[in-house]
Structure 1
Amino acid sequence: MNELRLLPWSTPDGKPCFLSTDENGGPLSRLADRAEAAQLDAGADLLEHATEVLTDDQTEPDDLRLLAADLTDTLRHVLRVAMSRGHRLPTPDPSVPREDEGPHLPAAAFG
């Protein structure tokens, strides 16, 4: 199946980039995988830094604005990775029961 993969970067004017290939693990796919991993790692690092900045009583307003801009940019990257990976997940067939599904309880069972 030849699905378009949303790549973890965009064009210089901000438009999304896509990869069309049947080759799983091809060179461009591997490059995109590494870029996604780097974006997620950067997000984790920034989250740790944000926690430090937000708990520091001496943080200046300019530092908070910079942090907000960095967090916004990183969130944009992480959402792109999530969308790309979500589109590549197989769509479950609702007529086939999943083995990991337990009994279903009615909503009333939860009060």
Structure 2
Amino acid sequence: MTPHNELRLLPWSGPDGKPCFLSADDTGGPLSRLADTTEAAQLDVGRELLEHAREVIADEELGREELRLLSTDLAGALHDALRVADSRGHRLPDPAPATRTGDGEGPRLPAAASG
């Protein structure tokens, strides 16, 4: 991955609930490693919660409070996953100029690629 001079969205919020950013060219620094570890843990929790949700939803005797708690937990996990996706997406290198069309539609694939 090519390092960028852009700010990195960190996987936690500040004390006032606002997003935290890291300004660093070095992706191997201690704060970057902590952010990587935190993102991995958040995604692992999301995977485990999704598995649990599938089991809970299959229970036909599930009460309203259990569903509310599950919904709250799933919403939190989705929030974390989207933050990780945003952070990682902003750190991707720009596509090579040859693959850009300039019309906002993204890269064009050869006709053979569509089958």
Aligned partners of 1:5 and 1:12: how far apart in 2?
18
Matches within 5 A, 1:1-111: 1-96=4-99, 103-104=110-111
Aligned partners of 1:102 and 1:92: how far apart in 2?
14
Fraction of identical pairs, as percent: 62
Aligned partners of 2:99 and 2:63: how far apart in 1?
56
Structure 2: runs of 5 or more not aligned? 101-107
Runs of 4 or more consecutive aligned structure 1 residues displaced over 6 Å after TM superposition:
none
- Structure 1 residue 103: deviation in Å? 2.4
Q: TM-score normalized by structure 1?
A: 0.85
- Structure 1 residue 102: deviation in Å? 6.0
Q: TM-score normalized by structure 2?
A: 0.83
Aligned partners of 2:87 and 2:109: how far apart in 1?
29
